[in-house]
């Protein structure tokens, strides 16, 4: 009925399963060495430069990119397996996550040769990190309302404005900033928007922390005051930034991180279930696991089609919507079981993971596009 929603069924080949074993062995060793403690939402809050560098040494950042830019020319499905294992393990991957997931693919598609040669090899080594500069105080869901602007002066662009909710900008070296390079056309607000790479240590850039409920510093406000950027830092074509950044968002929305943010909590719940014979608990968990499996198949299907170069806004939006609902449901099931099953009480690790997941959960359905916006993309795409 809706051919643009059909996703292929994927069987992972031997190469993928071999890689899975390697990644698991690496993660087990790291756990044994005490390098990290599994966390929910580790792809946003698990920051470790050292860990990113270790992944880089193994060729596990930018692994699908061309070898001449430091990549390994491996398949999108191999990358899927790697990211799945890292998330399931709750490993600290936040430092390089955005550069690996979206900056690299964006530069490979739209960047100049000079940009690719300069940025990509250091990203693959786990040494260079990027932040995403989309949202502004008055432009979130209505992203085309951005007011940050760049004016041309000689060979430079002069940037003024501010970004908000910039994850990890205080750790990142660069930000790809979505901004206006010409005034708003009232007949087409998507025109005149561009993407420029900004060095976050440049004169005129101020990064202010916004603290989470947990007290953690994850978000930032980033202010640009007469920041000078050379014209060779423009990504793609001036005025085409809207289209470019929407393509970037398809990579952002469909990955396993939209399903697995609460996996360490689910796993700990299943570990604890060995102490109970409660049928209700088993049914609840059985349902969660079967839904997880279906969502994973969908996410795999999207990964396979993205590798073929397809544009998948509708499927990617659907995966994110269903995936983030699932992530929240894991929390609700654990909450219910902790209350009704005495054997679940006092399980410190379960409770720590639960508390962390509860505090992070409000962001699941906001980041990368809110549920309402995703549903509107799906409805419009299906002609509903
Ligand atoms: C954990 C996390 C990490 C983030 N990281 C980044 C980052 O690194 N870089 C970055 O640029 N941004 C980041 N964001 C910001 C995120 O992209 C925005 O929060 C999101 O796009 C929503 O924008 P807003 O917060 O301005 O909410 P608003 O757009 O003001 O929306 C408020 C509410 O109104 C609803 N709404 C708005 N418009 C409509 C409509 N037309 N129809 C129906 N309902 C509507 C929304 O669904 C929402 O529920 C992050 C957010 C979170 C939570």
The predicted-structure confidence for 137-186, as pLDDT tens digits, reads as follows 999 999 999 999 999 999 999 999 999 999 999 999 999 999 999 999 99
Q: How far is the CA of 287 from the centre of ligand 1 (A)?
A: 30
70: CB partners within 8 A, 6+ apart: 62, 120, 121, 122, 123, 124, 125
Atom of ligand 1 nearest to the CA of 138: 26
373 lines ligand 1 (CB under 6 A): yes
Rounded to whole angstroms, how far apart are CA atoms 44 and 52?
13
370 lines ligand 1 (CB under 6 A): yes
The torsion of the CA quartet 308, 293, 81, 317, rounded to 10 degrees, works out to 50
144 lines ligand 1 (CB under 6 A): no
CA 361 and chain centroid, separation: 15
Atom of ligand 1 nearest to the CA of 168: 8
Highest mean pLDDT among 140-154, 300-314, 362-376: 140-154
Per-residue pLDDT at 105 = 94
166 lines ligand 1 (CB under 6 A): yes
135 lines ligand 1 (CB under 6 A): yes
Q: How far is the CA of 366 from the centre of ligand 1 (A)?
A: 5
Rounded to whole angstroms, how far apart are CA atoms 266 and 332?
11
Atom of ligand 1 nearest to the CA of 369: 21
Q: Which of 40, 137, 140 to mutate to test the pocket of ligand 1 (most atoms within 8 A of CB)?
A: 140
Per-residue pLDDT at 4 = 64
pLDDT digits (tens, 9 = 90+) for 194-206: 999 999 999 999 9
Q: Which of 49-58, 139-148, 242-251 has the lowest mean pLDDT?
A: 242-251
Q: Which of 366, 374, 380 to mutate to test the pocket of ligand 1 (most atoms within 8 A of CB)?
A: 366
Per-residue pLDDT at 251 = 73
352 lines ligand 1 (CB under 6 A): no
268-292 b/e with 16+ CB inside 10 Å = b? bbeebbeeeeeeebeebbeebeebb
Mean pLDDT for 70-92 is: 95
Q: How far is the CA of 136 from the centre of ligand 1 (A)?
A: 10
Atom of ligand 1 nearest to the CA of 133: 11
């Amino acid at each position: 009925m809706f051919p643009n929603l059909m996703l292929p069924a994927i069987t992972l080949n031997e190469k993928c399963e071999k890689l899975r074993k390697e990644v698991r062995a690496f993660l087990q060793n790291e756990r044994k060495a005490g390098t990290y403690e599994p966390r929910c939402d580790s792809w946003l809050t698990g920051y470790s430069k050292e860990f990113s560098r270790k992944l880089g040494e193994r060729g596990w950042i930018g692994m699908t990119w061309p070898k001449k830019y430091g990549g390994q020319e491996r398949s999108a499905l191999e990358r899927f397996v790697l990211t799945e294992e890292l998330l399931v393990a709750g490993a600290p991957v936040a430092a390089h996550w955005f550069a690996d997931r979206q900056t690299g693919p964006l530069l490979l598609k739209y960047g100049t040769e000079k940009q690719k040669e300069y940025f990509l090899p250091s990203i693959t080594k786990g040494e260079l990190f990027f932040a995403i500069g989309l949202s502004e105080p008055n432009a979130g869901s209505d992203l085309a309302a951005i007011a940050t602007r760049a004016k041309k002066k000689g060979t430079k662009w002069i940037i003024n404005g501010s970004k908000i909710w910039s994850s990890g900008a205080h750790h990142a070296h660069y930000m790809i900033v979505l901004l206006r390079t010409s005034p708003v056309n009232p007949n087409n607000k998507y025109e005149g928007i561009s993407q420029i790479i900004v060095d976050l240590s440049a004169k005129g850039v101020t990064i202010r922390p916004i603290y989470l409920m947990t007290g953690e510093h994850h978000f930032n406000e980033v202010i640009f005051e007469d920041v000078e950027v050379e014209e060779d830092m423009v990504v793609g074509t001036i005025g085409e930034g809207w289209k470019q950044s929407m393509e970037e968002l398809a990579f952002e929305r469909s990955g396993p991180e939209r399903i697995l943010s609460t996996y360490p909590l689910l796993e700990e719940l299943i570990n604890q279930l060995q102490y109970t014979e409660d049928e209700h608990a088993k049914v609840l968990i059985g349902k969660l696991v079967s839904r997880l499996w279906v969502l994973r198949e969908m996410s795999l299907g999207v990964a396979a089609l993205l590798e073929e170069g397809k544009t998948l806004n509708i499927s990617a939006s659907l995966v994110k919507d269903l995936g983030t609902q699932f992530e929240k449901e894991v929390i609700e099931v654990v909450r219910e079981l902790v209350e009704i099953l005495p054997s679940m009480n006092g399980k410190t690790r379960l409770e720590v993971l639960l508390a962390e997941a509860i505090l992070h959960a409000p962001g699941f359905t906001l980041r990368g596009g809110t549920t309402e916006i995703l549903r509107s993309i799906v409805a419009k795409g299906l002609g509903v």
